[in-house]
Homo-oligomer: A and B are copies of this chain.
């Protein structure tokens, strides 16, 4: 054990890189999505998670988990997406506390039309910079960090 209170060279590099990616990557993806369809990366992700869910609906809590968002943030955003006709709120048959968010046809059309451009942007902005091994390493390390931040995060469920 050396000093517990400061970062060594690699730790500092890793931390600063992550911090920078954290600011620049969402900003760049937001710009692309804003130009393509006047929505944010978070909006896109909400629609994407619903589109991949069975029946294209999810309880708000589950949708919040899959977008790593607070229920409050999600609630505001779903209200907005609802006004745009992309999502509807429905009651849950078995539990009256639960609100189910349901992707509409229009919402599905939107995400289908946006997905190719968005995926291209993700490739152009990060994946194309990396070798196959890098991608595998990042997946492995990234999931370790996610596990540390939230030990039953949904992306860890399938493994």
Interface residues of A (CB under 8 A from B): 4-7, 10-11, 13-26, 28, 45, 67-69, 115-116, 119-120, 122-123, 125-130, 132, 134-150, 153, 155
Contact = CB atoms under 8 A, between A and B. Distances in A.
A10 B126 CA distance: 13
Q: Would you call the interface of chain A mostly helix, strand, loop, or mixed?
A: helix
A45 B22 CA distance: 13
B69 A23 contact: yes
A20 B143 CA distance: 9
Given A4-B123, A6-B119, A129-B144, 17 more contacts: A5-B115, A10-B139, A14-B142, A15-B122, A17-B138, A17-B146, A18-B25, A18-B126, A20-B142, A20-B150, A22-B26, A24-B146, A28-B149, A125-B145, A125-B149, A126-B145, A134-B144
Given A127-B15, A143-B13, A116 B21 contact: no
Contacts of A128: 148
A148 B129 contact: yes
